[in-house]
Amino acid sequence: MITAEQALDIRTRNNALMAWVDSIRGKNGWASYRPEDKPANVPDVSNEERSALEVFEFCEAPPDKYFLYIREKDHTATTWTGDVLGQVSFGREWRDSFGGRRVPVTFRAINGHTYHGTYFKSSGDFARIRQSKKKAKAA
């Protein structure tokens, strides 16, 4: 995991990049550019850096609700680039009123919290989770 200083650097560079992207955004809300059109003073931020920042923030300020991706084969929950956020236990699959397949999940996160939610199996590999209200037992 990255340090607080590295997180600050990535966050600062990402904010500068996104401010520039917002400045070229059209009326329809889209922003499109070729890499060579980006001014030299606007920093680059890789997807790996964004994912590392996401993991850092997930651990430093545990969210109440979260959107993540499920790797069913190894029972892990990940960021969109594949960085592991914790281990997942699956419940019994059920079908919604439109025929979609959903699976209840319990997620033990790397930030020390437990989350519960729904894995939308037929729609993709994502889940929406919420932090458990049950407090962990003191040792």
DSSP H or E stretch at residue 85: strand 84-90
Cβ atoms of 127 and 117 closer than 8 Å: yes
pLDDT of residue 117: 97
pLDDT of residue 135: 61
In a domain, 50, yes or no: yes
Angle at Cα 132 formed by Cα 94 and Cα 108, nearest 5°? 80
In a domain, 66, yes or no: yes
* Spatial separation of the C-alpha atoms in residues 128 and 120, rounded to whole Å: 8
In a domain, 37, yes or no: no
Count of domains observed in the chain: 1
In a domain, 39, yes or no: no
In a domain, 136, yes or no: no
In a domain, 40, yes or no: no
Q: Which residues face 102 on adjacent strands?
A: 94
Which residue range forms the structural domain that includes residue 86? 4-30+46-131
pLDDT of residue 133: 85
Task: Read off the tokens for 89.
Answer: 């236990």
In a domain, 137, yes or no: no
pLDDT of residue 139: 47
- CA atoms within 13 Å, Cβ hemisphere of 60: 12
Cβ atoms of 91 and 104 closer than 8 Å: yes
Question: What is the amino acid identity at position 96?
Answer: D
In a domain, 35, yes or no: no
pLDDT of residue 118: 97
Mean per-residue pLDDT pooled into runs of 10, the chain (139 residues): 96 97 94 92 96 97 96 96 96 93 96 96 94 68
pLDDT of residue 136: 54
